[in-house]
Structure 1
Amino acid sequence: MTSSLTDRERVVAWQTQSLLLDYPDDAVRQRLPLLRAAAATLPEAVGSPLLSFCAHVEATPAGTLTADYVATFDHRKRFSLFLTYFRYGDTRKRGMALLRFQQTYRAAGHRIATTELPDHLAVVLEFAATVDPAAGVRLLAEYRASLELLRLGLWEGRSAWSPVLESVSATLPPLGRRDRDIVEQLAASGPPEEDVGLLPYPTNRTPGGASV
């Protein structure tokens, strides 16, 4: 975690990251000046990667960017934005983990759209930024290994969204030994493959439209 990051800077970072990880439609482009201005107020380790990604969005044709988003996050599970997937795959345990996310939101008086799974990184970051930062950072810390796997995958794949995950990681504590062990294990074996559904959660869709 960037030691100089204040509570206010952290929530500004999470809100900016959340919007930049959403499907890059016209609304995201319209917000670019605001997002760029917000990123410019943050410490370099957090803000500079966001400014880099904003420049990429601005320089990339809309159709190219949306196609890249779908190809990256909707068709490649290695780059899943759903945090519980890395640990539980498509198993019943994942369904229970999703329920715990939802219970955390409800305890804070927050409800998300029924079309969104509660572990989508953009949803978690928005919750942490706008509703309950303490509960939000606990969720992010609990799935620190998942975030690291996503960060590494995007970096190795040279994804345009890699800087956004670098920025997210810079708002969190460094990986502990336990999380490093989980990262190594999952990197070697992948998520569990027991395909029994996500009860009590139905299959939902990403902002880009593909199901997970």
Structure 2
Amino acid sequence: MIELLVISRLLEYPDAALWQHQDEVFEALASSAKLDKEDAQKLGVFLRDLTAQDLLDVQANYSELFDRGRATSLLLFEHVHGESRDRGQAMVDLMNQYEQHGLQLDSRELPDHLPLYLEYLAQLPESEAIGGLQDIAPILALLSARLTQRESRYAVLFDTLLKMAHSEVDSDKVAEKIADEARDDTPQALDAVWEEEQVKFFADQGCGESEIAAHQRRFAGAVAPQYLNISNGGER
């Protein structure tokens, strides 16, 4: 499903290759058989507005949006397991799933990074790809609600994925649930998280190596895939 590759590419860290090859992405949207005209147009507008900006500004905004705090993280297991030890086993299981379908990781991205997961789904038969989207629909709805709350244009990507999944998740209820949610990307919130992690770190050292640290080292070499045959030359 080329549509999943397109959205995967748009959710990746913005790089010069996307600016240089944007016409290919527009063409993929225009020829899509899975998106209705309105949804294809919304994605086209998103891409047009994105590439109309300075690349460095877009990269800075992307990092502010997806890399500060956990609420809008693109790491799927962040929203399921947090920092629990279950996350490590879930990573192993997902990597095995990728390998069974011939997807080899050779970059620094973790296997639960959403763009990578979408690239994997794009290789599957349509029914299986849709099933994979349905598996993560609650996370997609949560991210959509939080991005909408922050008035981010990236929300349209998640809305499109939910529509492709034929999701039965009630987006209005999700929005109501997070309406009074405290943001975790403010300086005060980030300082609180840092202090909490420091306490956990020293506690863990008292009883051997931290389980989280072990998982982080184990998966430190995971990779960002290439999408739409566009070379991803961006550095973060």
Separation (CA, whole Å) in 1 of partners of 2:182 and 2:150 = 19
Q: Compute the displacement of 1:99 (Å).
A: 1.6
Q: Is 1:24 matched with 2:24?
A: no
**Equivalent position to 2:121, from 108, 128, 141:** 128
Query: Offset at 1:44?
Result: 3.0
Partner of 2:45: 52
- CA distance in structure 2 between the aligned counterparts of 1:70 and 1:158, rounded to whole angstroms: 16
Which sits farther off after the overlay, 60-69 or 43-52?
43-52
CA 1:71–1:85: 2 relative to 1, 3 Å: same
Aligned equivalents of 1:44, 1:198: Cα separation in 2: 46
Which secondary structure does the structure 1 equivalent of 2:80 belong to? Answer: helix
**Is 131-140 or 21-30 further displaced after alignment?**
131-140
| Deviations, residues 123-153 of structure 1 (Å, cap 9, x unaligned) | 0111111356555444332222111111111
Residues 50 and 163 of structure 1 are in contact (CA less than 8 Å); yes or no, is this contact kept in structure 2?
Answer: yes
CA distance in 2, matches of 1:184, 1:139: 24
Q: Structure 1 length normalisation: TM-score?
A: 0.77
Structure-2-length-normalised TM-score: 0.70
Alignment of 1:161-172 (within 5 A): 161-172=154-165
CA distance in structure 1 between the aligned counterparts of 2:68 and 2:138, rounded to whole angstroms: 21
| Alignment RMSD (CA, Å) | 3.1
1:39 equivalenced with 2:29 (yes/no): yes
CA-CA distance at 1:92 after TM superposition? 0.8
Compared CA separation, residues 149 and 56, structure 1 to 2 (3 A)? same
Q: Which blocks of at least 5 consecutive residues in structure 2 are unaligned?
A: 184-195, 201-210, 225-233
Q: Separation in 2 of the partners of 1:184 and 1:92?
A: 27
- Contact kept, 8 Å, 1:14 with 1:128, in 2: the verdict is yes
State the SS of the aligned residue for 1:170: helix
The residue type equivalent to 1:12 in the other structure is I
User: Who wins on radius of gyration, i.e. which is larger?
Assistant: 2
Q: Verify the 8 A CA contact 1:98 1:119 in the aligned structure 2.
A: yes
Of the three residues 194, 197, 204, the one matched with 2:212 is 197
Counterpart of 1:119 in structure 2 is 112
Give runs of aligned pairs for residues 139-178 of structure 1, distance below 5 A.
139-176=132-169
Alpha-carbon distance change, 72 to 176 in structure 1, aligned in 2, over 3 angstroms: closer
Q: 2:78 aligns with which of 71, 82, 85?
A: 85
User: What residue number does 2:5 align with?
Assistant: 15
Identity %: 24
Offset at residue 189 of structure 1 (A): 10
How much does 1:109 deviate?
A: 2.0
Q: Is the 8 Å Cα contact of residues 81 and 120 (structure 1) preserved in structure 2?
A: yes
CA 189–159 in structure 1, closer or farther in 2 if over 3 Å, else same: closer
Does the CA-based 8 Å contact 2:14-2:58 persist in structure 1?
yes
Per-residue deviation, 1:172: 0.6
Q: 1:118 to 1:132 in 2, by over 3 A?
A: farther
1:176, CA displacement in angstroms? 4.7
Q: C-alpha displacement at 1:175, in angstroms?
A: 2.8
- CA–CA distance in structure 1, aligned partners of residues 56 and 181 of structure 2: 35
Supply the distance in 1 between the matched residues of 2:235 and 2:87 (Cα, whole angstroms): 21
How many residue pairs were aligned? 194
Distance 2:121 2:148 in 1: 24
